[in-house]
């Protein structure tokens, strides 16, 4: 469905969009350019203009394939159902991942595009905008970072992970000391796209998310699978882009690391996850 040339056009479109809509506005936003969608969830004029440019460009690459963009879904929540159509395709777009960082002048933000077909991610692109790092994956064809294949490396240290504060606190409180020592530094970059790139580089080993919006995770989980790893929802069913937003996600580029991260997660009781969607 997507040729090598088309994949390169997606990457070029993303870089052009970042240069036109994101970088000129970084650290130059006016107060009226930022608004709060809901507590803790920001949107800026850069998000909106970036999504518009991406949607127009993607429509030229694959005419007739709809775009499910984060900001479009904010206005029309029913668009997200396009991801769950059997035998159909759609683009899933996060025009500015890490909006709060961007709005606060922190250089940890990304752009994410994923092509979904028959409910599965088949193509993924993540652009680390400030550093111009680009990861690309196509299902069954591997994953590259800046054009180079992603190597598999052995881990000889406590596991470094991207984990939110509330779950980190429960790990510290509940895990016996010998098991907690298997975990090294736990943190979050508040930007899923860059966190996935850090997993691919080997600077981190696993990630855990309570909320799993598809524009944040569909591309990155495809990349980890193409690197030899996997991603599962809480309960260990495979992650899929159309899963409920609150189904949770644990992901790693190596299967043995994923298994250990899942085991550590399941060893603690987390009342904050009482409302997590159960697998059907």
Render pLDDT for 125-180 as a digit per residue (tens, 0 to 9).
999 999 999 999 999 999 999 999 998 877 789 999 999 998 999 999 999 999 99
pLDDT of residue 207 exceeding 60, the answer is yes
Q: Smallest Cα–Cα separation from 205: which of 165, 147, 149, 264?
A: 264
Helix, strand, or coil (residue 136): strand
Domains of the chain, start order: 4-149 (3.30.540.10), 159-273 (3.40.190.80)
pLDDT average, residue stretch 225-237:
95
Helix, strand, or coil (residue 47): helix
pLDDT of residue 184 exceeding 90, the answer is yes
pLDDT at 193: 98
Bridge-based pairing of strands 159-163 and 183-187 is: parallel
Confidence grade of residue 272 (pLDDT, cut at 50, 70, 90): low
Express as a percent the part of the chain with pLDDT over 90.
Answer: 86
Residue 143, phi then psi, degrees to nearest 5: -135, 145
User: Could you tell me which residue, 251 or 155, shows the higher pLDDT?
Assistant: 251
pLDDT of residue 38 exceeding 90, the answer is no
Helix, strand, or coil (residue 232): strand
Confidence grade of residue 37 (pLDDT, cut at 50, 70, 90): confident
pLDDT average, residue stretch 175-198:
95
Tens-digit pLDDT profile for residues 100-121: 999 999 999 999 999 999 999 9
| Average pLDDT of the chain to the nearest whole number | 94
pTM here is 0.95
Q: How far apart are CA 154 and CA 141, in angstroms?
A: 22
pLDDT at 3: 84
Confidence grade of residue 41 (pLDDT, cut at 50, 70, 90): confident
Q: How far apart are CA 90 and CA 123, in angstroms?
A: 11
Confidence grade of residue 245 (pLDDT, cut at 50, 70, 90): very high
């Amino acid at each position: 469905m997507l040729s090598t040339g088309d994949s390169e056009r997606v990457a070029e479109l993303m870089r052009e969009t970042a240069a036109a809509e994101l970088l000129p506005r970084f650290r130059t936003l006016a107060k009226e350019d930022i608004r709060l969608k809901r507590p803790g969830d920001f949107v800026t004029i850069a998000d909106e203009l970036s999504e518009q440019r991406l949607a127009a460009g993607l429509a030229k690459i694959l005419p007739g394939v709809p775009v499910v963009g984060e900001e479009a879904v904010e206005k029309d929540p029913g668009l997200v159902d396009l991801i769950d159509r059997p035998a159909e395709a759609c683009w899933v777009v996060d025009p500015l991942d890490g909006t709060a960082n961007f709005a606060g002048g922190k250089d940890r933000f990304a752009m994410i595009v994923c092509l979904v077909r028959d409910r599965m991610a088949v193509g993924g692109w993540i652009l680390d905008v400030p550093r111009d790092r680009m990861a690309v994956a196509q299902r069954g064809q591997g994953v590259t970072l800046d054009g180079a294949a992603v190597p598999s490396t052995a881990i000889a240290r406590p596991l470094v992970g991207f984990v939110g504060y509330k779950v980190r606190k429960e790990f510290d409180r509940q895990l016996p000391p010998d098991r907690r020592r298997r975990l090294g530094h736990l943190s979050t970059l508040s930007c899923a796209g860059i966190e996935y790139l850090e997993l691919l580089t080997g600077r981190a080993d696993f990630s855990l998310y309570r909320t799993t919006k598809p524009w944040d995770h569909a591309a990155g989980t495809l990349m980890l699978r193409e690197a030899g790893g996997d991603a599962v929802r809480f309960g260990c069913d495979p992650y899929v882009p159309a899963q409920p937003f609150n189904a949770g996600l644990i992901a790693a580029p190596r299967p043995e690391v994923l298994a250990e991260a899942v085991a550590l997660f399941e060893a603690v009781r987390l009342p904050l996850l009482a409302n997590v969607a159960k697998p059907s």
